[in-house]
Amino acid sequence: MIKIGKKFLFQLRENLKKEKGELEEELKRFAKKDEKLEGNWETRFPYFGEESGGGILEKAADEVEKYSALLPIEYSLELKLREINLALKRIKKGKYGICEKCRKPIEAERLRAFPEAKICSKCLKPR
């Protein structure tokens, strides 16, 4: 069974929630939440504006570049957010803190550093 104290678990849950909020804020700056697919975010394509004239193509190229630069950032933030949501779900179900590989409790120290951890540090390290 899980050997995590209630107080510790509560603290971890608070940390996860806080991190979740921060990640969502970060994502909101350039991406839009996908209402149809939970946990999915779409990077907004930059808005080119109404202006016409010579500079528009050049400007568009800049925006495309910006957009491409944002995609991997969005991807990694989204991935992390997904892990956090899964960790919160595991807490809810009372299945938090169990290694997915060896089914043993994950070390408290590791959970403190990575509350979204799914595997223990033994399984994390290659033999």
d(CA 34, CA 98): 30
Q: Taking contact as CB under 5 A, which single stretch among the options 2-10, 21-29, 68-76, 119-127 is the one that binds Zn ion?
A: 119-127
Of residues 43-102, which lie at the interface with Zn ion (CB under 5 A)? 99, 101-102
Query: Which CB, 80 or 104, lies closer to Zn ion?
Result: 104
Of 37, 34, 40, 42, the C-alpha closest to 67 is 42
Q: Smallest gap, in angstroms, from Cβ of residue 103 to Zn ion? A: 7
Query: Between residues 87 and 120, which has the closer beta carbon with respect to Zn ion?
Result: 120
CB 100 to Zn ion: min, Å: 8
Residue 120 sits in the site that holds Zn ion (CB under 5 A): yes
Count CA atoms closer than 13 A to 63's CA, side-chain side.
14
E strands along the chain, which residues? 31-33, 41-43
> Residue 121 CB, nearest distance to Zn ion (Å)?
8
Candidate ranges 14-22, 23-31, 69-77, 113-121; the one touching Zn ion (CB under 5 A): 113-121
The 8-class DSSP code of residue 33 comes to E
- Rounded to whole angstroms, the Cα distance separating 101 from 49 reads 51
Q: How many angstroms separate the CA atoms of 71 and 117, rounded? A: 24
Closest distance of CB 126 from Zn ion, Å:
13
Question: CA-CA distance, 28 to 1, in Å (whole number)?
Answer: 38
Nearer to Zn ion, 39 or 105 (CB): 105
| Binding-site ranges for Zn ion (CB under 5 A) | 99, 101-102, 120, 123
